[in-house]
């Protein structure tokens, strides 16, 4: 399985406006806090990247005594995160071998990152270990098996085959979490729509979508040229695009 070198795209990672805009108030964290009254909470953003999730949630939960943590394997991504948010304890480490004490976290958020882990079994073992009894692990990711018509795969077909090597199917995720004794709730939000190709050229050119860094330069350039050709010949050209997101919460019993 190929892995993305995030140090190479750290500087342009936040240029993807979709990535910035799509982060919402974390109602799962809110619900967990409301149902588990404590004097303080430990919250970990796993594979925190440039700190987008932390930046938003710290503002949202101002006034609640939360100790915020962020872990990422890329020192360059953490450098950007440090510039963005303060009062967060950042750790440069691999998810598969975290240095945290056991049963320390009330809530672990894991956004768009699980597919990057080379040893997913060990990553889940570590997540289980550092999660408190009654704590919640929240996994948020795309569901590539449910979205073969994604615009990325339309123009960069080899990207789909790279993703098949990286992503677990949702049933596998559900079963792996359940077999560890976690109480799992998993839902998928799906949509299919016609989208204008011109609206996505900037995302392709930025080449910050992880799978676009894994395909060959030749495949990438050919796909980008196809996009530009289609828009040049018809600025309003649309294609069918489907997109699926998984929202999974797993409570440690």
Higher per-residue pLDDT: 220 or 21: 220
Structural domain including 105 reads: 6-252
Quick check: 14 pLDDT over 70? no
In a domain, 1, yes or no: no
Angle at 247 between CA 243 and CA 249, to 5 degrees: 165
User: Residue 227: inside a domain, yes or no?
Assistant: yes
Which of 13-27, 201-215, 236-250 comes out lowest in average pLDDT? 13-27
- CATH number of the domain enclosing 140: 3.40.50.150
pLDDT digits (tens, 9 = 90+) for 80-126: 999 989 899 999 999 999 999 999 999 999 999 999 999 999 999 99
Residue 61 lies in a domain: yes
Measured distance CA(190)–CA(168) in Å, rounded: 17
What integer pLDDT is reported at residue 8 of this predicted model? 61
Whether pLDDT at 57 is above 90: yes
Distance, in Å, from the CA atom of 136 to the CA atom of 84, rounded to the nearest integer, reads 26
Counting residues of the chain whose pLDDT is more than 90, the rounded percentage is 88
The whole-model pTM stands at 0.92
In a domain, residue 27? The reply is yes
Between CA 155 and CA 122 the distance in angstroms is 34
Confirm whether 128 is domain-assigned. yes
pLDDT at 41: 98
- Give the number of domains in the chain: 1
- Answer whether residue 18 shows pLDDT above 60: no
């Amino acid at each position: 399985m190929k892995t993305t070198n995030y140090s190479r795209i750290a500087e342009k990672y936040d240029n993807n406006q979709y990535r910035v805009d799509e982060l919402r108030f974390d109602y799962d964290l809110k619900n967990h806090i409301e149902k588990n009254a404590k004097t303080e909470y430990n919250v970990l953003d796993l594979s925190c990247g440039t700190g987008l999730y932390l930046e938003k949630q710290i503002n949202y939960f101002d006034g609640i005594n939360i100790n915020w943590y962020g872990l990422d394997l890329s020192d360059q991504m953490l450098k950007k995160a440090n510039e963005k948010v303060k009062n967060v304890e950042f750790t440069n480490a691999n998810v598969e071998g975290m240095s945290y004490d056991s049963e320390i976290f009330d809530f672990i958020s894991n956004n768009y990152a699980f597919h990057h882990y080379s040893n997913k079994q060990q990553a889940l073992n570590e997540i289980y270990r550092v999660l408190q009894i009654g704590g919640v692990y929240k996994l948020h990711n795309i569901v590539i098996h449910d979205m073969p018509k994604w615009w990325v795969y339309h123009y960069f077909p080899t990207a789909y085959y790279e993703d098949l090597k990286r992503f677990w199917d949702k049933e596998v995720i559900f079963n792996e979490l359940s077999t560890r004794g976690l109480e799992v709730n998993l839902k998928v939000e799906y949509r299919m729509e016609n989208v204008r190709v011109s609206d996505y050229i900037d995302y392709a050119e930025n080449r910050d979508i992880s799978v676009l860094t894994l395909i060959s330069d030749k495949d990438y350039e050919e796909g980008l040229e196809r996009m530009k050709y289609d828009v040049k010949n018809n600025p309003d050209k649309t294609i069918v695009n489907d997109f699926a997101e998984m929202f999974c919460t797993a409570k440690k019993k």
